[in-house]
Structure 1
Amino acid sequence: MQLKENQYYIGNVPVLDICREFGTPVYVYDGNTIVEKLHILQEAFSGVPVKIKYAAKALTNISVLKLLKKEGAGLDTVSIQESRIGLMAGFAPEDIMYTPNCVSFDEIEEAVELGLGINLDNIPMLEHLGKKYGSTVPCAIRLNPHIVAGGNTKIQVGHKYSKFGISVEQMPQVMEVVHKYKLTINGLHIHTGSDIKEADVFLQTASILFDLAMQFPHLKFINFGGGFKVPYKPGDHTTNMKELGRKLSDAFLGFCKRYGKTLEMWFEPGKFLVSEAGYLLVQTNVVKQTPTTVFVGVNSGMNHLIRPMMYDAYHDIVNVSNPDGAPKEYNVVGYICETDTIGANRTLDEVREGDILAIKNAGAYGFSMSSNYNSRLRPAEVLVYQGQAKLIRRREVLDDLLKNQVEANF
């Protein structure tokens, strides 16, 4: 989002024009930023055979998926529904890696029938796969490296107490199942968490993967996960993609020599691709002065963006309709009947009733984690791409809340 001639723009479209056309609250995604982020990753690892599998759970709108497919991305999905949306967006089944957690075997069977890549993170489902398909269905294995990495503890998923992945200490049991059913293991995968800044974390997981990979002769790829750090505040440290690309590519090529053939290097970024591209635009309902603070109450809340309350996530907030206002301190809160703080103790250009605020970094895990709590309606979604703002999801209406309810007769 840029401020030019006293007006804010998203992808060369004035923010206030977007609000006038589509209303508020509204999610807006800058398609050019999404494409730029994908190209940064592709270029950072251009020295190796790299595949970028977008983690669809971050933002599953079909128009965004189509844009990423057009630019050469594959897809990483965690549910059969995400997978089917990916197929509808035009992804070939073989370009979708299905990585479920704690699902029934029925869902895995459905993924096999669809022709998706299969990536399993527990021994019981590996056993089920072997019993039913033997060596006829290749699969990858997600491992838990017992590494603590990432930001908030709720998004650290590679430590030994995490529900994700098969513990590296359980490799003897894994190999027993693999040999028993003659399973074809075509990939190994580790994802340690989100908001990882240091290249050394990826190198540490790479070292573990490389050693374990020598036990599997039929590998086609090594998946290093995602979790790259994105900036939330001015001056925030981020993952140095050039440094990571250089160091990890060198290590990977060295491993491939030891392994005896060149494999593919995979990543599954979600937040890195779409977080900075997204904005939640909201309107100020009330400016409420109390003896202790000044609250700015807006027409949105944790039902639309749960990350601040769930993860203590920081989202920068800008008053886009009063850029010349005198700076003042506010608590920006939502309209949900809960403690519903979007941003505490924020210095904003003076906020008046009716002003439009832009909540940044709302592209990842914003709409995709939204709900109808308090029977509130979910907002519209708009994609700005190549100078045009296009509606990609209509705003909900009351009928959407009622359409699946069945009235009982009393």
Structure 2
Amino acid sequence: MSQQLSNEQLIAAAQEFGTPLYVYNADNITAQYQRLTTAFAQTDTKFFYACKALTNINILKHIKSIGCNVDCSSINEVKLALLAGFEPGNVLYTSNGIHFSEIEEAQSLGVNINIDSLSNLEKFGQKFGHSYPVGIRLRPNIMAGGNIKISTGHDKSKFGIPIDQLDKIMALVAQDDLFIQNLHIHTGSDIKDVDVFVKGIEVLFDIIPQFKELSSIDLGGGFKVPYKKGDAETDMPLLAQKVNEAFANHPNPNGKHLQVWFEPGKFLVSASGYLVAEVNVMKENTNTTFVGLNTGFNHLIRPMFYDAYHQIENISNPTGEEKHYAVTGNICETDTFAWDRKIAAIREGDLLVFKNAGAYGFEMSSNFNSRYKPAEVLIKDGKATLIRKRDTFEDILGNQVL
């Protein structure tokens, strides 16, 4: 089970550092990683934290300290990972529609690279030939994930090289004697059906024989995490069992052992994060009681962007009588976090907490309405440490030319 912060810890952090405030629990991240390594203990598996979920360098340092590797989606994430102390061999960079110069820079840094287009694969071959191992991101044409906005493996997705263009891939491999070390697929996010991963393995095993120097296959991430009581989540022991069975049934005809890579992001950090906000105003309408907070979708966009659910609790009055509220933000757009949500009785000045805010919360925040981004705090071994200062007016002006 995940390690939860208490209301008292969250209130103390809010009192010390102000609100709105992102608070992360290092112990929870550690526990989630241990769940993975325990489930896959009998499998040769390597985990790369998909750091696009949360890139604060202090989070990256903690991820490194527990033995996990890191997956990056941009060259700047690669640089952050190296600055956090990761060895280049433990950094994975999966490109997506980027200029080839970014891949060249990643190569110069010595990290693992996955390429997602025929165009960049050809450029890579022309420049590096067989001298630098590389991976290929394939689009398996599998629909998976919580909704279309977070599904990446279907036949209309921009991600990866379509599996039906394998002949063109092989032509480029032969043309420039490419050293293909990894085949990568990622089908989406919020995947609770472990058979989706098995389908991906079956797609890969059909083509593995054509890649003689392959050393790993990368099944991506997208593990489902529960957002409320009764929610299903990815069954990790079952997934490990299915992966083992798939490899037993499909031995590599090239006789070479293949390591399995996964890229958990949300799974590692989602439940570790909390967004604490203060109630600015209460508005009583005929049919609705609006709760106006000192935050908005400029700090947590997921409910408006993905229709994502976040549990909201009143930590100032946790035992109050439950009532129905519309919880809204303070920016000049519709930024409703929840309609008709049952929450313990709310008063102006109360502190509300959004749970499961560790992944794609602060990371997707903005200065919309010229409002400040929140501070971030990491609680480790019971001690709260500021890991990002709250914005100031000087930060708003920072790069503007006056």
Alignment of 1:276 with 2:271, yes or no, is yes
1:209-220 equivalences in 2 (<5 Å): 209-220=204-215
Post-superposition CA distance 1:194-215 (Å, at most 9, x none): 0000111110111111121111
1:52 corresponds in structure 2 to 47
1:305 corresponds in structure 2 to 300
1:176-215 equivalences in 2 (<5 Å): 176-215=171-210
Which of 61, 73, 76 does residue 56 from structure 2 map onto? 61
Which of 164, 172, 190 does residue 167 from structure 2 map onto? 172
Alignment of 1:323 with 2:318, yes or no, is yes
1:283-362 equivalences in 2 (<5 Å): 283-362=278-357
Post-superposition CA distance 1:295-315 (Å, at most 9, x none): 000000100000000101111
Identity in percent: 51
1:105 corresponds in structure 2 to 100
Per-residue deviation, 1:358: 0.5
2:71 corresponds in structure 1 to 76
Gaps of 5+ in 2: none
Residue 143 and residue 367 in structure 1: after superposition, are their counterparts in 2 closer, same or farther (change >3 A)?
A: same
Relative to the length of structure 1, the TM-score reads 0.96
Alignment of 1:249 with 2:249, yes or no, is no
Contact 1:13–1:389, Cα closer than 8 Å, also in 2: no
Question: Counterpart of 1:334 in structure 2: which amino acid?
Answer: G
Per-residue deviation, 1:345: 1.1
Question: Counterpart of 2:77 in structure 1: which amino acid?
Answer: E
Taking the aligned partners of 1:224 and 1:316, their CA distance within structure 2 comes to 30
Taking the aligned partners of 2:248 and 2:400, their CA distance within structure 1 comes to 56
Residue 224 and residue 361 in structure 1: after superposition, are their counterparts in 2 closer, same or farther (change >3 A)?
A: same
Per-residue deviation, 1:255: 3.2
Question: Counterpart of 1:49 in structure 2: which amino acid?
Answer: D
Alignment of 1:146 with 2:157, yes or no, is no
1:37 corresponds in structure 2 to 32
Contact 2:2–2:31, Cα closer than 8 Å, also in 1: no
Taking the aligned partners of 1:133 and 1:158, their CA distance within structure 2 comes to 28
Taking the aligned partners of 2:55 and 2:359, their CA distance within structure 1 comes to 10
Per-residue deviation, 1:261: 2.2
Taking the aligned partners of 1:12 and 1:44, their CA distance within structure 2 comes to 31
Question: Counterpart of 2:35 in structure 1: which amino acid?
Answer: I
Gaps of 5+ in 1: 4-8
Question: Counterpart of 1:302 in structure 2: which amino acid?
Answer: F
Alignment of 1:88 with 2:83, yes or no, is yes
Contact 2:209–2:252, Cα closer than 8 Å, also in 1: no
Taking the aligned partners of 2:50 and 2:318, their CA distance within structure 1 comes to 35
Contact 1:45–1:249, Cα closer than 8 Å, also in 2: no
Contact 1:13–1:388, Cα closer than 8 Å, also in 2: no
Select between 361-370 and 9-18 the one with higher mean Cα deviation.
9-18
Contact 2:191–2:224, Cα closer than 8 Å, also in 1: yes
Taking the aligned partners of 1:257 and 1:177, their CA distance within structure 2 comes to 23
Post-superposition CA distance 1:167-211 (Å, at most 9, x none): 000000000000000000000011000000011111011111112
Taking the aligned partners of 2:359 and 2:109, their CA distance within structure 1 comes to 27
Question: Counterpart of 1:204 in structure 2: which amino acid?
Answer: K
Taking the aligned partners of 1:20 and 1:93, their CA distance within structure 2 comes to 40
Alignment of 1:122 with 2:122, yes or no, is no
Taking the aligned partners of 1:406 and 1:108, their CA distance within structure 2 comes to 31
Alignment of 1:156 with 2:151, yes or no, is yes
Secondary structure of the residue aligned to 2:271 is coil
Per-residue deviation, 1:46: 1.1
Question: Counterpart of 1:304 in structure 2: which amino acid?
Answer: H
Alignment of 1:378 with 2:373, yes or no, is yes
How many positions carry a matched residue from both structures? Answer: 402
Contact 2:2–2:271, Cα closer than 8 Å, also in 1: no
Contact 2:43–2:240, Cα closer than 8 Å, also in 1: no
Which of 3, 13, 22 does residue 27 from structure 1 map onto? 22
Secondary structure of the residue aligned to 1:281 is strand
Question: Counterpart of 1:155 in structure 2: which amino acid?
Answer: I
1:219-258 equivalences in 2 (<5 Å): 219-256=214-251, 258=253
Superposition RMSD on alpha carbons, in Å? 1.5
Taking the aligned partners of 1:253 and 1:382, their CA distance within structure 2 comes to 45
